[in-house]
Amino acid sequence: MTMADGILVRQLHAWFGQVHVLHGIDLAIAPLAVTAIIGPSGCGKSTFIRCLNRMHEVVPGGRASGQVLLNGEDLYDPTVDPVQIRRGIGMVFQKPNPFPTMSVFENVAAGLRLGGVRNRGILQGTVEQALRQAALWDEVKDQLGKSGASLSGGQQQRLCIARALAVRPGVLLMDEPCSALDPISTLAMEELIFQLKDRYTIVIVTHNMQQAARVSDFTAFFYMGALIEIDETRKIFTSPGNKQTEDYVTGRFG
């Protein structure tokens, strides 16, 4: 994968058991940009991004159909290894989830070790680079042996981003990454997202309209499992093409 991976989604459907969650999503995600996914609770936002790296199928009863093309390769082709996909398309969750029994260093190195990297110099260099990219190095460089779980909430979330970046993904998915953070940590996270988009394609699910307006280049509005509209963020928030979108972003929804 390159650092300019765009994603093309074609007729994506998803289910939990008999419940049809996503209904034929067609969507192009621009490379080296931030695309925000907005919409009311239960509209399929998180399911959608989990389908992009095939994490949806890990959930009991979860299945999907359609195509997710990354640089022309269909990630749902039977010959494709989902583990490799998840290395190339990193995920940051709503609640920070560092490995509690591991040090800061080992949290970031975990994916590298799983991939067979044993050289101490390579591990050290890559861990430092990932922590720098996640704007965390200066805060933890003297406590790399400390438990990852001992960091503050905002630091833990940046640690999880560093862990995802260490395996050099092309795409970074974020599922409401700031919802468990205080305002100062949220601001730091938003600044980080802005810096990372020069190197990564980023898709962020957020329930915060102001956050979507601040951090994203494009915004997609989902409602009841369908994509209602996608456009440049500026247009979505100033002159959306769909009445439902307008009602949602202006708070008149429902």
Residues 182-205, mean pLDDT to the nearest whole number? 94
Task: Look at residues 6, 60, 67, 62 and name the one whose alpha carbon lies nearest to residue 33.
Answer: 6
Average pLDDT of the chain is 94
On whether the CB atoms of residues 6 and 73 are closer than 8 A, the answer is no
| pLDDT on residue 252 | 83
Domain 7-96+169-249 has CATH 3.30.565.10: no
What distances in angstroms separate CA 217 from CA 91, 156, 233, one per listed residue? Answer: 19, 26, 5
- Lookup: tokens for 143: 């406590």
Report the 10 Å Cβ neighbour count for 184.
9
In this prediction, residue 254 carries a pLDDT of: 54
Q: Each residue of 116-158: pLDDT tens digit?
A: 999 999 999 999 999 999 999 999 999 999 999 999 999 999 9
Asked if residue 160 lies in contact with residue 167, where contact means CB atoms within 8 angstroms, the answer is no
Give this prediction's pTM. 0.93
pLDDT of residue 26: 98
pLDDT tens profile 89-101:
999 999 999 999 9
How much is the pLDDT for 191? 95
Tokens in use for 116? 């067979």
Q: From CA 240, how far away is CA 230, in angstroms rounded?
A: 9
Band the pLDDT of 3: cuts 50, 70, 90: very low
Half-sphere exposure of 186 (CA within 13 A, CB side): 15
Q: pLDDT value at position 1?
A: 42
211-234 average pLDDT score = 97
- What is the mean pLDDT of the segment spanning 188-198? 94
Other CB atoms within 10 A of residue 214 CB: 17
Lowest average pLDDT, out of 77-81, 83-87, 164-168, goes to 83-87
Q: What is the pLDDT of residue 124?
A: 97
What ranges do the domains of the chain cover?
7-96+169-249
Which secondary-structure segment (H or E) carries 172?
strand 171-175
- Quick: pLDDT tens for 144-153: 999 999 999 9
